[in-house]
Chains A and B, each alone.
Chain A
Amino acid sequence: MDHDPFRVVGGLIIACYATGSARGFIYVSGEHRLGYERFRNAVEQLERAGLLGQGILGSSFDCRLEVRRGAGAYVCGEETALMESIKGKRGFPRLRPPYPTDAGLWGRPTVINNVETLAKVPSIIMHGARWYNALGTPESAGTKLFAVSGSVARPGVYEVPFGVPLRHLIYDLAGGLQPGRAVQAVLTGGAAGSFLCAEDLDTPLTFEDFRRVGGTIGAGTIMVFDDTVDLRHVLARIAAFFAHESCGKCYPCQMGTQRQAEILDRIARGQTSANDAGDLLELAAVMADTSICGLGQAASMTIVNAHGHWPDLFRRTTDD
């Protein structure tokens, strides 16, 4: 977005051409001012060059792109909330069906893709599907962006072909851990993700291998925690994030994310009570079962996963 906006815009124009759509939107989260400005600039340049607008390159293809900004709500990454936000409304998710491909923006059929997908389209068109499929593994074709953060020397976004080991990403690309530190846990897939442990470091980064070891590829988030990190604080931080970002539309997420955060905050402060694990698991099941959108449905995923790995984190210990 920041460094090569034309790649994304190119992918979007091709997507418009493929779907026969004369209008496209780029939605940039409110925090990302630079990306917004770069997209605006790219669209204006393409308009001036005649590559956007009426009858592009003398063809009958019309395409108009608009860049819209959100106001910083995480839930606006959810596709129905995103469309509300593009329309200038509050970013509430809505019930599906209807799905966006049937009734999306202003009731019109709408295709929604993320920036990473669109950015890949121009090179696939240029070099062909065979070239792209030759990258990665048969089941996980191509390349993937991974955002590596946490206890590593060079946190950042790295693009690798599917199939390289997790260790390569963490040690060779992100510079490894501080001297003398060891990997305690790796959170994969984002705030609603799952943990891997030190023995999983040689797992190839593919959908099939991650499924086998219980990791999540998801949006490509890799958070590394070394052996000095108290995972209870990590979980409390994640729970606080979801409580903060819940849009408040449906009861289970509106109040459940708050109660989950309160319990985990207490656990992180060493004030664990005997019911906490049971309460958290029950809350998680109900939120997953009854919340309107993916935010509430997945807000407990990491906590439930951590409980599976390390049940002792949720128990009273003698030194607490």
Chain B
Amino acid sequence: MMEAPNIPLTINGRTVRVPLGTTILEVAQGADIHIPTLCYHPQLTANGICRLCAVEVVGARNLQPACVAPVASDMVVNTETERVNAARRVILELLASTVDCSQAPEVPEYIERYGARPERYAGGVRRCFPVMDDNPFFVRDYSQCIMCWRCIQACGEDIQHTFALTWGGRGVGSHVATVLRRTDARHDLRVPRELRVRLPDGGPQGQG
């Protein structure tokens, strides 16, 4: 197969050449530019959910999610503008005012870096669920889940193909769910070992 042609683009003032089909995030990683991510995982399908990786592409109407946005020839990308940083700050404020982020160590770091003040939304709805210790494999505390979807992806088409985990609820009430809310032995809730420790959201974590 022919190699994808290299195309030029500018990121934070630097001109680089990358193969067509590369995402903005991959370009940034190659250029040692840090773009914050929460839902992105290199082994899983990127869905562009957390939008923390939003970057400014000159000429685009909206900010673009770097984890899924493919590069285009002569694209001009800026990853740390005032508009970008404001968006990241607000998204972090929304997240940290809604869920317990103590199992996601990146979140406090990002909060500090972007000067987020989640307390401005104090008194609003928080996502709280009772801890579920109802099966031999997992303790599930969805109050600590940031809904990054990684466990759903891993259980589904990306790795496991068991589809044990799925989405429940919608809007701010979104949560990870099991089919018919069942977690008995017939439902394979195994998450591949290599992903267990990396899931940042305190979602299903393997016991033992």
B124 in the interface (beta carbon within 8 A): yes
Q: Measuring CB to CB, which residues of chain B are less than 8 angstroms from any residue of chain A?
A: 47-52, 54, 62-63, 65, 68, 83, 86-87, 90-91, 94-95, 97-98, 120-121, 123-125, 147, 167, 169-174
A257 in the interface (beta carbon within 8 A): yes
A159 in the interface (beta carbon within 8 A): no
* Chain B, interface SS category: loop
A250 to B52, CA, bound (A): 10
Interface residues on A, range: 20 to 34
| B63 and A290 within 8 A (CB) | yes
A285 to B65, CA, bound (A): 16
A251 in the interface (beta carbon within 8 A): yes
Give chain B nearest CB distance to A289 CB in angstroms: 5
Please name the 8 residue pairs, one residue from A and one from B, whose CB atoms are nearest each other, closest first.
Answer: A248-B174, A255-B94, A258-B172, A246-B171, A290-B51, A286-B90, A248-B170, A289-B63
A251 to B54, CA, bound (A): 12
30 residue pairs bridging A and B, Cβ less than 8 Å apart? A243-B172, A245-B170, A245-B171, A246-B170, A246-B171, A248-B147, A248-B167, A248-B169, A248-B171, A249-B47, A250-B48, A251-B49, A251-B52, A251-B95, A251-B147, A252-B87, A255-B95, A259-B94, A259-B121, A259-B124, A262-B121, A262-B123, A282-B90, A285-B86, A286-B90, A288-B62, A290-B51, A290-B54, A290-B62, A290-B63
A73 to B167, CA, bound (A): 15
| B120 and A275 within 8 A (CB) | yes
- Give the chain A neighbours of B87 by CB distance below 8 A: 252, 286, 289-290
- Give the chain A neighbours of B48 by CB distance below 8 A: 95, 250, 292
A249 to B153, CA, bound (A): 13
**Nearest A residue to B174, CB-CB:** A248
A248 to B91, CA, bound (A): 14
| A289 and B125 within 8 A (CB) | no
A90 to B49, CA, bound (A): 16
